[in-house]
């Protein structure tokens, strides 16, 4: 692989918040946008 072939990169992150009281939230951060997503969307992204 040529290191010089790559000039850009994209960071996409997901996070799951598990509250001690049992509530769970899912989010995706892409670019400058943090979006709450459904559990289904989160799971689909993690099975690709």
Partner 1 sequence: MATGSKWVNNGQAFAVDQLDKNTASGTPTYFGAWGSGSTTPTVGDTALGSENAESRTSIVAGSMSQPATDTVQWIYAITATGSRTVQETGIFSASSAGTMYIRIVHGSLSLESGDIVTYTVTLQLKDTSE
List residues binding partner 1 (CB under 8 A).
Answer: 1, 3, 5-20, 27, 29-34, 45-46, 48
Q: How far is the CB of 40 from partner 1 (least distance, A)?
A: 15
Q: How far is the CB of 11 from partner 1 (least distance, A)?
A: 4
Q: How far is the CB of 27 from partner 1 (least distance, A)?
A: 7
CA angle 45–40–19, rounded 5-degree value: 100
Q: Closer to partner 1 by CB, 40 or 48: give it.
A: 48
CA distances from 36 to 2, 3, 9, 45 (A): 37, 35, 23, 14
Q: Cα separation of 18 and 16, whole Å?
A: 6
């Amino acid at each position: 692989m040529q290191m010089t072939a790559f000039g850009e990169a994209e960071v996409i992150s997901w996070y799951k918040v598990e509250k001690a009281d049992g509530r769970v939230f899912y989010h995706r951060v892409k670019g400058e946008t943090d979006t709450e997503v459904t559990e289904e969307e989160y799971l689909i992204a993690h099975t690709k």
